[in-house]
Structure 1
Amino acid sequence: MQFERQSGVFLHLTSLPGPHGIGDLGSGARAFVDFLDRADQSLWQFCPLGPTASIHGNSPYQSSSAFAGNPLLIDLRDLVDRGYLTTDEVEPPGALSQQHVNYDRVTEFNTGRLRDAYATFDESASDADQQSFTEFCEREAGWLDDYALFTALKAEFDDAGWMDWPDDIRTRESAAMERYRDELADDIRYHKFVQWCFDSQWQALAEYAAERDIGLVGDLPIYVGLDSADVWAYPEVFRLDDDHHPAEVAGVPPNPGDDGQRWGNPVYDWETLRENDYGWWVDRFERLFDLVDIARIDHFKGFDEFWSIPAEAEDPAAGQWRDGPGAHFFETVEGRLGDLPFFVEDLGFLDESIVALRDRFGFPGMRVPQYADWCEEGHMYQPMHYPESAVGYTSTHDTDTIVGYYRDLADRQRDCLHYNLGTDGDEINWDLIEAVWNSNAVVAMTTMQDLLGLDSDARFNVPGTATGNWEWRATEAALDDEVAERLRQVTDRTIR
C-alpha cells in the first residue's frame, strides 16, 4: 500500500488525561484529537486495545483476547449520559493520580461501575441502544461468544488459567460448554454488554477523528497470550499437544551479549492455518480494521521465520528456527481483504529474507534514531539516511524518551550527534523531532513524552521488567497550544 508523506504522535489510550485514574474513550480522547488537529498532524498511534491483567503487568501485549476491547478504557461519563449510571456513582473515590495509572484501584472502581450500568441497562436503555446491543452481539458472535464465555469462566474458577480448569471445559466438551453457557448466562451477557459499550464508544471516537482527517494507527502483536480466549477456543491454530498444553513456545535466540528470551506465547501451527486459508487471521485482521485505519505489525520477523522453543525447556537456546508462512500468507489475506495498510516492526532483524518479504508488499519498516551509531558515516538509523519506505520514530513505547536517551549517551556519541544534527543539544527533543520530520521517511512519528521534553521518569515500558510499566499519563495541561503550534510549524516546514 502506498502511504502519503505524513506525521503523527504516539500516545496510548491509558495515558490520556481524565478524572478516573486512566485515559478513556471520552472527552480526553477527543481533546487529544483536537490537539493533533491544531498541530496539523495526520496520525494517532497507540498500543494494542485488548483487555489487560495485573498478572501480566497490565501489558497491552499480553491480552486475554486478540479481538476484544479493554473495559478499563470505557468512558463512564458516557454511561451517565445514556442513563445507566448517575453522576454520583461515577465520582472517583479519593484522589486518583493524574500522572500514573494505579491499575488495581482503577480496575476495582471501573468494574463496579460497569456492573452497576449493566444492572440498569434493560430498564434504562433506549430502544436504539437495545437494538444496537442486539445487532452488535449478532454481528460479532464469531469472537464475542467465546470471549464472553471465557471471561465468565475465568471468574467462575477464581481467575485460574484455562489450562487449570476442569478437563471437560478446558477441552471444550459439548456437554460442558452447554452446561456452563446455561449456568453463567447472565455473566456472559454482562461481558457482551461491556464489549458493546467499548465498541460503540470507539466507533464514535473514530468518527470524531475521521471528521478531522486524523487516521488511527493500531498495533498487532504477532502472538497472543497463552491464557487467552483465542488459544482456548481455537487450539488447532496453535502448536499444542493432545492435552491442549503448549508443545512449543515463542522467543528469540541468544545473541552475543545476551541469553535470548523465552516469551512463553504458544506458536502457530502454520500448516493447519494454511490449509484453512488463514481463516482465524483473516477474522483477526477484519476486526482490527473495523477499529483502526493502519496497523503496525509487532515482530514482523515471525512471518518470515520464528524461533520455536520446546515448551518444557526454560533455556531459549533450546529452540530452533522454523519457517513462517511468508509471502503466501499476505497474498492469501490480501486476496480476501485487499491492500493491507501495515507498518512493520523490523528492528534488529534486517536479514535478506525479511527485507524481501517486507518490500514485496510495500510495508514500510521502522527507523529509530536511538539505534544509531552517530559516529559511523551513513548509519541506517541516522535520520538523514532514512529511505522513503520507512516510518521514522523519535522513540517508541519500548525505548527511553529522547531526553533520557541523550542523557545516557557516551560522550563521543553525543559529540557525533551534535555534529550530524548541527545542534548543541539544548533542545534535543525538538532537534530529533525536526530531524525525523525532515527525513525522507514517508511517515514521521514522535511520542507525547518527546514533545514535552520529558526524561526517563516518563518512559512507558522497559522490556524485561515486570513492574512500573504502562503507567505514565499526560495531564490536561500537556495538550498545550504552544506545543501544538510548534509541531505544526515543523510539520509545515518539512511538507508533511
Structure 2
Amino acid sequence: MIDPRYDYKELHTNRASGILLPLFSLPSASGIGSMGAAAYQFIDFLKKARQTYWQLLPLGPTGYGNSPYSSMSSFAGNPYCIDLEQLYQTGLLTAAELHTADTVDGTGMATDGTTAAAGGCRIDYGKLYRERLELLAKAYRRFTAEARNRALLDQFITEQADWLEDYALFSAVRGRFKDIPWYQWQEDIRDRKADALSAARKDLQESFHFTVFVQYLLQAQWDMLKAYAASAGIRIIGDIPIYCAHDSADVWAHPEVFCLSSGGLLAFVGGCPPADFDIPEDEGQVWGTPVYDWAYLEKTGFEWMLKRFARQADFFDVLRLDHFRGYESFWRIPFGASARTGSWQPAGGQQLFSLLQHRLPQLRIIAEDLGYITKEVFDLRRSFGYPSMRILQQGLNPFHANEHTPHHYDAATVVYFGIHDNEPFAEWLSKRTPAERAYCCDYLNIAEHDSASPIQMQLAKAMAASCADTVIYQAQDILFLGEESRINVPGRADGNWEFMLTDEQFKQLQETGDELARITRLYGRDHKEGCKV
C-alpha cells in the first residue's frame, strides 16, 4: 500500500447541484404555489434526481408590485404561501370555503372557464389581496374558539417576541389606515409614541392576534416542510435582500437602523452608479430603498442585522446574499436626486460577517457578487470562504470572454444559466444571432437538433461538467419553457412574479428525474455528505 503522504491528491468531493423554483411557482388550484402537496412532491423529485438543493426566493409578505425583494417584513412569512388544503384537513376551513379559493384548474384554465393566461398559469395577486386574508380569518375564528389554541398563540408570541409584536401591530395599524404607508400615518403612531402604541395594541387586539395566527400557521407548515426536506437529504437555499422596503415593519419599528429624515421620510436611498459616467444616457439605478446607518449598526454590535440573519436561518439552510458588494461599500444617493449624484460609502461587512460566523457557525452563505466588483469586495468574500455566483448566459459571448465564461471559474463558484431576473434558456437562445448560437453550441459542446438528447439536457450536462462546486438549474430551463415562464423583468412595472407551473408541466419536470440523476452521478455531484456551498 502506498503511504498517502507520498500520493496526495486534492479532489473536490463537495460537488453538488440543485434546482431554483420559487415556492409561488409550484402548481396549485388555489392560485399560488404553497407549502402543500406539490412542495412535498417536488422534494421527492429532487431526491430521485439526486439533487442536493432547492433554491427559493425570499418568503416575506409582499406589498405593492408583489416583489419578494420588497417585503413588508424581513422576519415574517407570506400568508399567501399557507396551504389551504391542510386547513381543510384539520377542520379550520370547510370544503365550500376551500373551493372559493380556486383560481385555476392546473391546466392554465380559469375556474370560470376562461383561459387564465397564454403559456400557462399566472398568479392573480388582485384576487389574493381581496380574498385570501378573509378566508384565513374564518380559520382564525375557528382556531381561537378553543382555549388551548389561544394559549398556543400566546406561547408563539413569547417565542418570537423580538419581531412578532412589532409586525403584528404594524399590520393591524396598517389595516386601520387602509394600507397607506406607515410614514403617512398620524404622527403619534408613526413616531411610535408609547401611549399611541399602547392604545393601538388595545384597540386592535383582534387584528393583532389574527396576524399572529397567520404567522403561527405559516411557521408550523414551514417547519414540517423543512423537516421533510431534511429527511430526504435536501437542503433549502433562501435569498435575503440587502435592503428593506421603506414601507415595512422593519423600518417603522427600527428607524434608527436606517438613514431617515424627519417624519420617517428618506434621507438617502440605495442604487447603482452609471456603468460609464461619460455616457449621458447611462443614468444608473435608483432603488428607492432606505440605506443602513452603518455607524449605528457598528455601535450596537450589529444586533438588529444579526437577528435578521438568525430569523432567515430559521427558514433556510443556506442564504444567498443579494447585492453582496453592498456589505463592503454602497452607492448612497440623496433622496430625490439622480443616481449620478450618489457616492460610495463604506459598509461594515467585515465586522458583521465575523460576528455572523460566531453567532451562526452552521449557516452557509452564497455571495451574489454580480456587477461592479472591486478587489475590496473580492477580498471580503474570499476572507470568509463564501462562494461566488456566475451567470452562464452572460459568459457565452463570442467576442468577449469574462468572469461568467466557464474557463474562468474556480471551484468556489455557484453557477446558474440564469436567475429570476434573466431570460429563460429557451428565450435567450431564440434571440441569439446565428453566429452567437454557433458559438454557444460549440463552446458547450451541445447539438441544437439532436433527437436523442433534448438541448436543455445537453445544457444541464455542460453545466454539471464545469469545475464549479455547485450548479443550480432553473426549473423553466429543464423544461425548455419560453418567455411566458420568466419570473421578473427588471424595470417592468407589472406582470412580474406571476409564473406558475401547470400540472402538466410539473409532471413533465418530474419525468426528468432519472436523466438528471444520471447527469448528477456522471459528474460527481451526488456527494451529499460534506457539501459546503
Q: TM-score range by the shorter chain?
A: over 0.9
Match of 1:473 in 2: 500
Match of 1:485 in 2: 514
Match of 1:270 in 2: 294
Deviation at 1:202, TM superposition (A): 0.3
Answer whether contact 1:278 1:333 (CA < 8 A) is retained: no
Match of 1:109 in 2: 131
Q: Would you say 1:43 and 2:53 are equivalent positions?
A: yes
Answer whether contact 1:35 1:479 (CA < 8 A) is retained: no
Match of 1:419 in 2: 442
Cα separation, 1, equivalents of 2:390 and 2:212: 40
Q: Determine which of 307, 319, 322 is the counterpart of 1:298.
A: 322
Match of 1:122 in 2: 144
Deviation at 1:337, TM superposition (A): 2.4
Cα separation, 2, equivalents of 1:30 and 1:153: 36
Cα separation, 2, equivalents of 1:362 and 1:94: 46
- Report the AA paired with residue 493 of structure 1: L
Deviation at 1:108, TM superposition (A): 2.5
Answer whether contact 2:31 2:101 (CA < 8 A) is retained: no
Match of 1:369 in 2: 392
Q: Determine which of 185, 190, 209 is the counterpart of 1:170.
A: 190
Deviation at 1:3, TM superposition (A): 9.2
Answer whether contact 2:389 2:414 (CA < 8 A) is retained: yes
The aligned runs of 1:379-398 (5 Å cut-off) are 379-398=402-421
Deviation at 1:429, TM superposition (A): 2.3
Residues 484 and 384 of structure 1: CA distance in aligned 2, closer, same or farther (over 3 Å): farther
Deviation at 1:85, TM superposition (A): 1.4
The aligned runs of 1:210-225 (5 Å cut-off) are 210-225=230-245
Cα separation, 1, equivalents of 2:128 and 2:105: 10
Q: Determine which of 155, 159, 173 is the counterpart of 2:179.
A: 159
TM-score of the pair, normalised by structure 1: 0.95
SS at 1:465 equivalent: coil
Deviation at 1:375, TM superposition (A): 2.2
Cα separation, 2, equivalents of 1:356 and 1:222: 19
- Report the AA paired with residue 145 of structure 1: E
Cα separation, 2, equivalents of 1:133 and 1:209: 26
Q: Which runs of 5+ in 1 are unaligned?
A: none
- Report the AA paired with residue 444 of structure 2: L
The aligned runs of 1:5-404 (5 Å cut-off) are 5-53=15-63, 55=64, 57-92=65-100, 95-96=103-104, 98=106, 99-123=121-145, 127=148, 129-256=149-276, 258-313=282-337, 315-375=338-398, 379-404=402-427
Cα separation, 2, equivalents of 1:391 and 1:94: 38
TM-score of the pair, normalised by structure 2: 0.89
Residues 38 and 130 of structure 1: CA distance in aligned 2, closer, same or farther (over 3 Å): farther
Answer whether contact 2:313 2:363 (CA < 8 A) is retained: no
SS at 2:100 equivalent: coil
Q: Determine which of 428, 431, 440 is the counterpart of 1:408.
A: 431
Deviation at 1:428, TM superposition (A): 3.6
- Indicate the percent of aligned positions where both proteins have the same amino acid: 38
What stretches of structure 1 move > 4 A for 4+ residues in a row?
none
Match of 2:530 in 1: none
- Report the AA paired with residue 144 of structure 2: D
Cα separation, 2, equivalents of 1:318 and 1:261: 11
Moved more, 406-415 or 270-279: 406-415
Residues 424 and 381 of structure 1: CA distance in aligned 2, closer, same or farther (over 3 Å): same
Answer whether contact 1:386 1:392 (CA < 8 A) is retained: no
Which deviations, in whole Å up to 9, do the C-alpha atoms of 1:187-229 show, x marking residues without a partner? 1000000000100000000011111011010000000000000
Cα separation, 1, equivalents of 2:229 and 2:36: 12
Deviation at 1:395, TM superposition (A): 1.4
Cα separation, 1, equivalents of 2:250 and 2:78: 15
Match of 2:115 in 1: none
CA RMSD, 1 decimal: 1.7
SS at 1:250 equivalent: strand
- Report the AA paired with residue 88 of structure 2: V
The aligned runs of 1:408-447 (5 Å cut-off) are 408-426=431-449, 427-447=454-474
Match of 2:3 in 1: none
Residues 202 and 339 of structure 1: CA distance in aligned 2, closer, same or farther (over 3 Å): closer
Deviation at 1:333, TM superposition (A): 2.2
Cα separation, 2, equivalents of 1:451 and 1:374: 22
Cα separation, 2, equivalents of 1:259 and 1:454: 33
Deviation at 1:339, TM superposition (A): 5.0
Deviation at 1:370, TM superposition (A): 1.1
Answer whether contact 2:328 2:377 (CA < 8 A) is retained: yes
SS at 1:349 equivalent: coil
SS at 2:229 equivalent: helix
- Report the AA paired with residue 222 of structure 1: I
Cα separation, 2, equivalents of 1:42 and 1:265: 34
Residues 276 and 479 of structure 1: CA distance in aligned 2, closer, same or farther (over 3 Å): farther
Cα separation, 2, equivalents of 1:226 and 1:155: 17
Answer whether contact 1:394 1:433 (CA < 8 A) is retained: no
Residues 210 and 131 of structure 1: CA distance in aligned 2, closer, same or farther (over 3 Å): farther
- Report the AA paired with residue 494 of structure 1: Y
